[in-house]
Amino acid sequence: MSSYRLLKDECLAANLALQRTGLVDLTFGNVSVGDPARRVFAIKPSGIAYGKLTPDDIVVLDYEGVVVEGTARPSSDTPTHRHLFLHFDAAIRSIVHTHSRAAVAFAQAGLPVPCLGTTHCDYFYGEVPVTRALTDAQIEGEYEWETGVAITECFALRGLDPLRVPAVLVRKHGPFAWGVSGEKAVETALSLEIVADMAARTLALNPGVSPAAGALLDKHFFRKHGAGAYYGQPNGRKS
């Protein structure tokens, strides 16, 4: 058995789960799952329909971008994933990219997803930011790598913790989300689409609505995250 089989299995399961969420149309979207200790990550192959994916189709690369297992061409977004694995906290083990419609609408508009209520607060500690536009030189050069640069630059300039704001909108492109596992990253991508849809509807009703902040943001975020969290079961049981 491949020494990367568990990693590939988790990556396959996450990609199939992503399709079941309804966040992807056609082959738009991909999930990667990393192993920081071995400095490798697994990712969906480019352009292969989700229903036809097998563990053997999943491609494993090292953090330098060299394929270490697999014969398929990896996702065209692989350099973006690699950049994030290299520059974000090692606790981030999985990255999801989609073209989900509500989140893409904010990205195309060049707007962050504002934190307007408790559903958003449960997952994101404040607004989900949008990156700056890439320059023509970046687009014409190492476009996918530069997409990752724009993401990490966005977080650095705003002083954001990617563990507290586990998603971003790439301007004119779409969302990236992440988590400590493939399952969690897919959940984050789904939660982003849900709150983006809610925000769009709320802004249509009341363009001047104020954000949820302060005590309300702290209560809802930290009851689910961090040392003092008390939401859910202590053993992680979900059913």
What is the value of pTM for the model shown? 0.93
Q: How far apart are CA 94 and CA 92, in angstroms?
A: 6
Residue type, 225: H
pLDDT for the residue 135 = 96
Q: What is the mean pLDDT of residues 168-172?
A: 98
pLDDT for the residue 239 = 52
- Going from the C-alpha of 214 to that of each of 82, 165, 221, 226, the distances in angstroms are 35, 16, 11, 17
122 is catalytic: yes
Q: Which of 124, 89, 110 is nearest to 172 (CA)?
A: 110
One of 25, 89, 218, 231 is an active-site residue; which one? 231
**Model confidence pLDDT, tens digit, residues 27-56:** 789 999 999 999 999 999 988 888 888 999
Topology at the third CATH level for domain 5-222: L-fuculose-1-phosphate Aldolase (3.40.225)
Domain boundaries, the chain: 5-222
What is the separation of C-alpha 148 from the centre of its chain, rounded to a whole number of angstroms?
12
One of 9, 56, 57, 122 is an active-site residue; which one? 122
Q: How far apart are CA 120 and CA 172, in angstroms?
A: 22
For the chain, strand residue ranges (E) read 30-35, 40-43, 59-62, 67-69, 94-97, 167-170, 174-179
Residue type, 224: K
